[in-house]
Amino acid sequence: MVQSTRITSVEVAKVAGVSQATVARSFAAPHKVSDKSRQKVLEAAQSLGYVPNAIARSLKSQTTNIIGAVVPARSEYWQHLVAEISQQLAERGSQLLLFTFAKPSEVSSVVEAVRQYRVDGVLLASAFIDHEAMVDVTSLGVPAVAFNHPEAVDISASVSVDNEAGSAELAAHLVETGHRSVAFVGGNPETGSDRLRYRGAAKELRSHGIVCPYIGAGSFDYDAGYGIAEALLQHFGGVEGLPDALMVAGDELAFGVVDGLRALGTSVPDDVSITGFDGLPQATWAGYDLTTLVQPAEELIREALGVLAGTSDERSHLTVKGFVRVGRSSRRPAVQGES
Amino acid sequence: MVQSTRITSVEVAKVAGVSQATVARSFAAPHKVSDKSRQKVLEAAQSLGYVPNAIARSLKSQTTNIIGAVVPARSEYWQHLVAEISQQLAERGSQLLLFTFAKPSEVSSVVEAVRQYRVDGVLLASAFIDHEAMVDVTSLGVPAVAFNHPEAVDISASVSVDNEAGSAELAAHLVETGHRSVAFVGGNPETGSDRLRYRGAAKELRSHGIVCPYIGAGSFDYDAGYGIAEALLQHFGGVEGLPDALMVAGDELAFGVVDGLRALGTSVPDDVSITGFDGLPQATWAGYDLTTLVQPAEELIREALGVLAGTSDERSHLTVKGFVRVGRSSRRPAVQGES
DNA sequence: GTGAAAGCGCTAACAA
DNA sequence: TTGTTAGCGCTTTCAC
C-alpha cells in the first residue's frame, strides 16, 4: 500500500476543515491551538497517515535537529561511544548522522557531507581529524566539539578524559600494589592521547624512582597489540626479563597484548601485570578482566552534546576525570627471588 | 569566524555574475554549464565558502540521499554491522541516519523519527522490531529491508544469512571432527534467528543419530552466556557429564559461555568444544579463537542496500550463505575412556 | 485562536 | 548554454 499521493499538512487541513497553518501549529506548537481544532487535526492526520516533514521544517527553521558524528570505522572504543551518543541524542529528541572513515584521507570528503547537511553540531572524534578538517567544519558556523582530541585547542571546543591524570592514577595503583618496574606500550604516537597517557605514567613512576620505557605498537588496534608481544619478549630478554607491569595505551590494544603474550606462554598476570585505558565493556569480560582507566563515557558525551547544544561554553576545553577499575589482569607481583 | 550571513547560491551568483540557476547547475549538473561559467562559479563559491544546502535540495527533489538504520544499541553484532553499513553508504555517496534503541519499547518512537526525516530507505535490524513498526515505516512508501529478521516475510524485503543451513554446517563440522554429543545454547528464543539456528543444528545432528537438547540463555549478550555456564554444569552433572560440544547461538553469547565455563575450571576446548555464530571480529581474537559461522557482512549489507536502492527486487527475500571458520575453541574430543 | 501569505534554498521545466 | 519562474512543505509574522 504505497501512498499514492504524498500527504502534506494541506491535505490534512482539508480533511480537518481548518487552515494549513493550524495543522502545522497542532504539531509544532500544540498549545497555540484550541483543543477542538487540535483534536480534529490529529484525527485527520491519523487517518491519512500524516507525519510532519522534517526536511521542510529544517529548511524553514534553519535547524535540522541532527547532530553529526565523525568517527573511525573500526575501533572498539568508538563503537562503544557511538552507542552512547546515539542513546543520549535520542533522549534529547535529536538524530544522529553518522560518518565513519577507514583512513584519515577519507575525512575531507566526510567533512564536505557534514557541511551540506547543515547539521546543528558536529562531534569530531579521533586524533586523525586534522586541523584543516576542523576549520572547514567550523567555518560554516556549525558548532563543533573535538572529542578526546586534546590538541584541537584553538579551533573549537573540546571534551576529553584527563589522559595524563588517569594514566598517573593507574601508575600509582601499580606502585601501590608493589610493582617496581613498569613499561609503557604505546599506540599511535602521533596522537595526543598516546603522548599524554605516556607522560602521565612516566611522571608518576619517576616520582617513585621508576624509569618507564616507551615501546610503540604503532596503532591502537588489537592486532597491533598481539603483534608487539613477541617484540616485547625479545626486548626484555624473555619472560624473566619482563617488568612487573605493562601499561598499555588503550583497552583494545591491551587485549591484543594479553592474548599475544599468553600465546607465547607468558602468564598474565602471574608473569606480568597488564593495564589498559578506556574502560570498554569487553574489559570486564572474564577472559581479560583488565585493570584499566575507565573513561566516564556518559559524562563525556553529555558534556560534548552540551557544548553543541549551547548549554556549555562554546570554546571551552573540558577535561573529565576517569577512574581506575581493578581487574585480574594485574596483581601484586612476586617479590624478587621469591619465585 | 562565524559566517555573518548565510551563503546561498544567490550570493554566489551575484559574485560570479551569473544567475542563481547557473550556480545550482554548476554543482548538480556541471556538464550543463559552460566551462567558463562553471569556473567563475566555483571560484566565487570557494571564496565565499559556499556549499550547496542538502536540506533544500532534499525538499525539492524528494530524495534525501539518507538511509536510516534502526539497530539495538548494545550488541557487538550490530556494532560490527553498522561499521560496514556506514562504509558502504559512504562509497555510494549516501549518508547514514542511525537510530538505536535500548529496549524494544523504544522502537516506536524511533520509527516516528524515521518517517519524519523522509529517508530514502530504512534498514531494520533485529528481531525486536515488531510487525506494527514495520508497517508504520513502509506505509509512508519508504523502502524498507528487514535485516536478519527472517520472520518479516510479508511486509517488506528481507536479507538474512541462511541461519538454518549455517547452523547445519557447523553441526556437520562437529560431527566430522568426531563430536558425538552436542547441546545447543540458545539466546532469545523469541527470535527467528535463534529458532532457525537451533533447528538447523538439531536436524543435521539427528541425521547422525545425535539428539541435541536446547538450553536457553535468554538473550544473546555476553552476560547471559557467562551466567548460563553454571547452569550448564549442573544440568550435565559436572565437567564429566558435558557433551563433546556446545553450539552457542551467537558469538557474543559464546564469549560469555567460554569465559563462564573457564571460570568454573572447565577447559575449552579440552573438556568441551564450543562454537559460535556470526563471525565477529572478536571471534578471531586469540583469547577466544572461536569456531563459528561467519556471516558475510559485506555481502549481506550490499544486498540490503541494493534492495533499498531499487537495484534488487523490492519484495525479495534473500538468503546468503555463511561459512564455517574453524578456530581453537573446538577440537576433536578425546575418545571415550581415553582420558 | 485562526487564516493568509511570505519565504527557507534549492531543482526543473520552460523560454530565450 | 543561460535565465526566469514556480514550487517542494513547512514556520512564522501579521491581521482579523
Question: Over the stretch A132-188, which tens digit does the pLDDT of each residue have?
Answer: 777 788 877 888 998 988 776 667 788 999 999 999 999 999 999 999 999 999 999
Tell me the pLDDT band of A337, cut-offs 50, 70 and 90: very low
- Residue A314 CA and nucleotide D15 C1' are separated, in Å, by 40
Tell me what the mean pLDDT of segment A191-201 comes to. 96
In terms of CA atoms, which chain A residue is nearest residue B94?
Answer: A113
Look at residue A9 and tell me whether its pLDDT is greater than 80: yes
Task: Determine the distance from the C-alpha atom of residue B12 to the mean position of all C-alpha atoms in its chain, rounded to a whole number.
Answer: 43
Which residue from B58, B79, B281 is facing A83, i.e. has the nearest CB? B79
Q: Which domains does chain B have, with CATH numbers?
A: 9-61 (1.10.260.40), 66-161+297-321 (3.40.50.2300), 163-295 (3.40.50.2300)
- B139, three cell numbers: 506505509
DSSP per position, A65-115: -EEEEEEESS-HHHHHHHHHHHHHHHHHT-EEEEEEESSGGGHHHHHHHHH
Distance of CA B117 to the CA centre of its chain: 22
**pLDDT digit string (tens) for B252-279?**
999 999 999 999 999 999 999 999 999 9
Band of pLDDT at residue B339, cut at 50, 70 and 90:
very low
- Å from B266 (CA) to D13 (C1')? 74
Which A positions 75-94 lie with beta carbon below 8 A of chain B? Answer: 79-80, 82-83, 86-87, 90
Instruction: Give distance CA B53 / C1' C8 (Å).
Output: 11
Helix (H, G, I), strand (E, B) or coil at A241: helix
Is the Cα dihedral B261, B266, B267, B269 positive or negative? negative
A108 touches chain B (CB under 8 A): no
* Interchain proximity A73–B87, CB inside 8 Å: yes
Q: H-helix or E-strand containing A245? A: strand A245-248
Question: Does A49 contact B at CB distance below 8 Å?
Answer: yes
pLDDT digits (tens, 9 = 90+) for A284-326: 999 999 999 999 999 999 999 999 988 776 668 889 999 999 9
What percentage of chain A exceeds 70 in pLDDT?
Answer: 94
For the CA of B136 and the C1' of C5, the distance in angstroms is 34
By CA distance, what is B289's nearest residue in A? A259
Mean pLDDT of chain A: 92
CA atoms of B229 and B231, how far apart (whole Å): 5
Between the alpha carbon of residue A246 and those of residues A175, A233, A278, B47, B99, the distances in Å are: 12, 12, 15, 52, 39
Strand partners, A98: A69, B96
Helix or strand or coil: residue A45? helix
CA A329 to centroid of chain Cα atoms: 24
pLDDT band at B87 (very low <50, low <70, confident <90, very high): very high
- Please indicate if any CB of chain B lies within 8 Å of the CB of A265: no
Q: Does A234 touch chain B (CB under 8 A)?
A: no
Task: Check if residue A12 sits with its Cβ under 7 angstroms from strand C.
Answer: no
Q: What is the structure's pLDDT at A339?
A: 40
What are the tens digits of pLDDT across the range A235-267?
A: 999 999 999 999 999 999 999 999 999 999 999
DSSP classification of residue B333: P
* Phi-psi group of A310: left, alpha or beta (phi > 0 → left; psi -120 to 50 → alpha; rest → beta): left
Model pLDDT, residue A29: 93
Q: Which residues touch strand D (CB under 7 A)?
A: A 6, 8-10, 20-21, 24-25, 27-29, 50, 52-53, 56-57, 59-61; B 18-22, 25, 32-34, 36-38, 56, 59-60, 62
Residue A274 has phi, psi (to 5 degrees) of: -135, 135
d(C-alpha B206, C-alpha A323), whole Å: 52
Does A239 contact B at CB distance below 8 Å?
no
- At B149, the pLDDT band (50, 70, 90 cuts) reads confident
A79 vs B49, B83, B87: nearest CB: B83
**What would the 3-class secondary structure string for B182-205 be?**
EEEEECCCCCHHHHHHHHHHHHHH
